[in-house]
Structure 1
């Protein structure tokens, strides 16, 4: 009976009694592919939409653990195999890279971003909260307490964000902001002295 192939990473699965006197060579080939699937690095230049290559028991792009995409402004759509797998993706292109299996959800990786993505064989997702990526959650949810907007940073060097419970704004530190600092420090010093 011939060898078969593992579903997600396309490793050769030998049939009992097959490849007598060759099993060590075959096992080493599988271990090298496993090493690439766990810690392997691929740099993939993009000039247009692309698909990661796959090949049973041979070297392929889709088995890589980490992928750095390089290229122009895009946007580029990259199709990954419709099998369960995680990737650490670095978009070094000048424009966005959209990851898809060709079905289900997609993930858009903005230029310069490095993100974890995963696929369950259908949708491509990135870890996050409440159905949003971590980046989108921070942008859309964490700052929602201030109506979704944080005061602009431009022109506010050396200032701190303060809130009155409703609105946030940038302000320079003043002595009134630090009025209880001395007593707080004395209190901490006393607490540390007692603890020692």
Structure 2
């Protein structure tokens, strides 16, 4: 019976008694591919929509653990294999890159972003909370007061974002903001003095 291939990473699975006197070479090829799948780095220039290459027993792009996309303004769509796999993705293009298996949910990586994307063979997702990606969760929950954006930063050097529970704005720190600072420092000074 001939060898077969693992479904997600396309490693050669040896049949008992197959490849006599070749098993060392075959094993080394599998270990090299395993190394690439765990810690391998692919830089993929994009000029249009593309599909990451796959190949049984040979080098391929989709096996990489980390992928850096480079290129023009896009937008780009990158199709990954419809098998379970995770990727660390860096979008170093000037436009958005959408990851898809061709079925199910997709993930769009904005220019400059680095995200962890994973697929169960259909949907592509990023880690998150409550069904939302971390980026969407932060925008929707932590910064929900302003549609996910900080108040304008220009002209606000040295100020902090303060909120009254409804509205947020940049404001200079006041002594009232640091009201408990003096007592906290005294408490630390006393604790240090006792410790010494």
Match of 2:112 in 1: 112
Could you give the per-residue CA deviations for residues 124-170 of structure 1, whole angstroms, max 9, x where no partner exists? 001111111111111111122x3646432222110112222332221
Aligned counterparts of 2:82 and 2:179: Cα–Cα separation in 1: 61
5+ residue gaps in structure 1? Answer: none
Q: Are 2:87 and 1:87 aligned?
A: yes
Match of 1:140 in 2: 140
Aligned counterparts of 1:179 and 1:128: Cα–Cα separation in 2: 37
Aligned counterparts of 1:36 and 1:88: Cα–Cα separation in 2: 13
RMSD of aligned C-alpha atoms? 1.6
Match of 1:154 in 2: 154
Aligned counterparts of 1:167 and 1:188: Cα–Cα separation in 2: 34
Structure 2 counterpart SS, 1:77: strand
Q: Are 2:101 and 1:101 aligned?
A: yes
Instruction: State which drifts further: 186-195 or 83-92.
Output: 186-195
Aligned counterparts of 1:29 and 1:48: Cα–Cα separation in 2: 31
Give the length in aligned residue pairs. 195
Q: With structure 1 as the length reference, what TM-score do the two structures score?
A: 0.93
Q: With structure 2 as the length reference, what TM-score do the two structures score?
A: 0.93
Match of 2:58 in 1: 58
